[in-house]
Amino acid sequence: PVCTPSRNAFMTGVYPFKVGLQRGVIMPYEAECASPGKILLAQKLKTQGYETHIIGKWHLGMCNWNCTPTYRGFDTFLGYYNGQEDYYKKEVLNGSDFRDNKTPISNFNYSTYIYADRATTIIANHDKSKPLFLYLPFQSVHSPVQVPKQYANMYPNIQNEGRRNYCGMVTALDEAIGKVVASLETNGLMNDTTIIFTADNGGLPLASGNNYPLRGAKSTIFEGGTRAAAFVYGKDVEKAGSTYQGLMHAVDWHPTILDLAGVNSSRNDMDGVSQWEAIRLGGASPRTELVYNLDDAFLATQGHAAIRVGDYKLIQGYPGPFNDWYKPDEVYETTVDYIGENELYEKLTKRDYEVNREIFTGEGLYNLKNDPYERNDLSKTHPDIVKQLKEKLDDYRKSLVHPKAKVPDPKSNPALYGGFWSPGWC
């Protein structure tokens, strides 16, 4: 439902609830690193001779240098360690956060431009005798909603200013991706490249994001918070132009990319299953069930628990702070200052609890094939299916790792590091 758990799923192929990352995101002041005992995707690709680069958002911990990208399999890194920073100033909370490899730098250009330029430079200078893995997690279109005016001006018909700017951000992102593709073509790499594009969670209505007609939003375990748009492009995709209907989870990208790259890796240490052959040929998914989230806290800010088996989805307990269907042309406001994802969702969760405590103890059953918008709760009419899915969730609970308390550590203070959020204090 949010950034850090999804990115950890991509990099490890392991469910976030098994490594204690199922609640919120890693904040800049938090002594936490993503799965320090796990071998990340880039490290596995290095064993096959890949050159590996990351450009953009990390958000998998930075309190210790060993948590950071260039210590976890990436040859180079340009971007930021945390989340939700200013697109121009490169600031988050009370510190700056922008680096070229390990070196903190100041750059006030629009981040989407910076990342596209670095990607084209890497592609142009790449040694073609070696395979290339480029992980390009653009900042777009995360809040704050910021974009050069010429892109927002392309949508004068949109009356809602936030949505107008948001659509401009999408267009700026499209343009940046176009530059990357053009660079691959110009430098003779396109014919042997596979492009995977995916989101990491749903949009946030409070920041002009939209998932309509799906229910919910970012930070909930409804489909609006977790069903991500994605595509795969390349000459090896024989079913070009088709829609893949197979069930897939974020953890599956890890083994899928390893298979695509010809990397032999044990699957015993991950929850992901390779979808490469099914996507390439348009076959049936090897996955029949998935866990959306599993948190043992009563006030679980990103949803208590949800599982899908076949067409049926069971939500157990609190689904998260956004329970409605949010239309794109409406303005959604909150009295909560947008100071940080964890703080916002915690306050919204407590507000929900005060208004309607029943949603924290109830459950909902939905047939996503017939009802992808989760409007018809079947839990009362299908108690047998509820029982079956609850038993499955209980099995998964045996491997649940409780997340750490998110306590600010004063040693993280950017003032101690020249105004930058910096590793080396945990």
Cα dihedral 207, 213, 216, 219 sign: negative
Residue for token pair 């994001």: 209
Q: Are 121 and 187 contacting, i.e. CB atoms less than 8 angstroms apart?
A: no
Residue for token pair 């998935």: 290
The catalytic residue among 3, 33, 63, 67 is 3
* Catalytic residue status for 63: no
Residue for token pair 């899928």: 256
Q: Is 185 helix (H, G, I), strand (E, B) or coil?
A: helix
Distance CA 30, CA 232 (A): 35
DSSP-H helix ranges across 233-380:
253-261, 276-281, 341-355
Taking CA atoms, 67 is separated from 37, 64, 253, 404, 418, in Å, by 11, 5, 21, 16, 20
Is there a cis peptide before residue 144, judged by omega within 30 degrees of 0? yes
* Catalytic residue status for 59: yes
Length of the chain: 426
Phi, psi (rounded to 5 degrees) for 191? -65, -20
Q: What are 110's two structure tokens?
A: 């629009």
Q: Is 129 helix (H, G, I), strand (E, B) or coil?
A: coil
The catalytic residue among 53, 59, 249, 254 is 59
Residue for token pair 């799965």: 35
Find the helix or strand (DSSP H, E) in which 44 lies: helix 41-46
Annotated catalytic residues are 3, 59
